[in-house]
Chain A
């Protein structure tokens, strides 16, 4: 992997870019529901300590001015907002939970809109 998939300081998350740097809230939900427990746990473990630093760094820029690396980091953080429920809250109940969630479609999301200004 090239070292430029993510902003400096977040290389530890590069192995997760392919699987979890996903555009679109509905796509992130589907990814959570199709993932294995191992995939979810590995991503969560690696990303949890980096959530605060990543958001702090991304907050310095406007959403419209993100470069590709920053956009990937943003999408990783948004995926965490899905996956954390599975890893931290649902735990071994995630398969049962996913049964119900499969019937839900995210039809609109604030994260999918273009930020104003």
Chain B
């Protein structure tokens, strides 16, 4: 009991009351009508993370990623000069989906239907019997999608003319995330699961620590301690539509024997790689990505809406360099299984939350001050949805 680090000071109840304290309407969390508005107001207009540069390192590499919420499939290429491009994966002749593979190396893409062939810069380079058409070749390039990179993450924007560049959109998060290991990652481990639940309910589960002691009584045993039984974070901060929190590290955590052995290896490699052990930040990037930036538990989660009641989570852990020895391979496997255990515990309660709300029994739900990140996400989503409704009304459409 000597030289105890600073005692935990909870974020005061009133600290972020400016974001509101009232109940939150329940319908946005389950209705199809609201989800349809979110598609247009948010997902077809925001920068969306779609991959990582280490997946497409060489000229000629390509990726194809579905974006169900926008009914889109996106082709990302790296051209001979090393530049990234993104396109709708749609042939400009009659709209056939161009590429079937999910990744590979190819500098030309031929449509299976009538063999229109495009370069990885999107130009139509050849088309059989093209003289019979009534268009010129230059106007038949693949439909381009805005693309940019920050912290190693590839983002796209489906808006034909994005209102903001990626850097401007990310604001101060851009620079902070550039300091994370993922910015220089060369390899990824990944696991995926789907839930029968709305994307915001999925996201919210990872935006509050209130549930940890109930849903993770064992795997989360070390999250809370006598000073801070719920394991609440030290700080919350808000940056436009994005939000961050600083994770509290429990000085009283007592790892079990195998955990201690494996955590020690994880920490050794983190130090050997000169990762910043002080970073304890969580980055909530609007609309559907978060990153846990700690050196020893470094992962991102992409929360991909599929329908108002179906969501896919893609969890990625980031590594610098290939596995170079048995201990490193072991430490990485343990890192992944540790995160996976926690995700598997959350799954049932996310679905139960959706089922309860979808019954229509509640008109409102409640967020306490330590659930302020959930409130902030709702505020940011709802403002865009209401603005979009107003836009539609002004344009004389249905409101």
- A: residues with CB less than 8 A from B are 25, 28-29, 44, 48, 51-52, 54-55, 58-59, 62-63, 74, 77-78, 80-82, 84-85, 88-91, 93, 97-101, 103-111, 113-117
Contact = CB atoms under 8 A, between A and B. Distances in A.
A77 B261 CA distance: 12
B354 to A, nearest CB: 15
Contact of A103 (B193, B261, B322, B338): B193
What are the 6 tightest A-B residue pairs by CB atom distance, in nearest-first order?
A58-B326, A100-B344, A101-B344, A116-B322, A100-B347, A108-B190
Contacts of B217: 93
Contacts of A101: 340-341, 344
Nearest to A54: B326
Contacts of A29: 337, 340
B162 to A, nearest CB: 30
B341 A97 contact: yes
B259 A90 contact: no
Contact of A115 (B192, B221, B257, B324): B324
B181 to A, nearest CB: 13
A53 to B, nearest CB: 12
Interface in B204-238: 217-219, 221
B329 interface: yes
Contacts of A90: 218-219, 341
A90 B219 CA distance: 7
A106 B190 contact: yes
Given A63-B323, A109-B189, 9 more contacts: A51-B258, A55-B327, A58-B327, A84-B259, A85-B337, A89-B218, A91-B218, A100-B344, A116-B321
A59 B189 CA distance: 21
A84 B262 contact: yes
Contacts of B346: 100
A50 B189 CA distance: 26
Nearest to A48: B258
Interface string B270-291: 0000000000000000000000
Nearest to B326: A58
B68 interface: no
B333 interface: yes
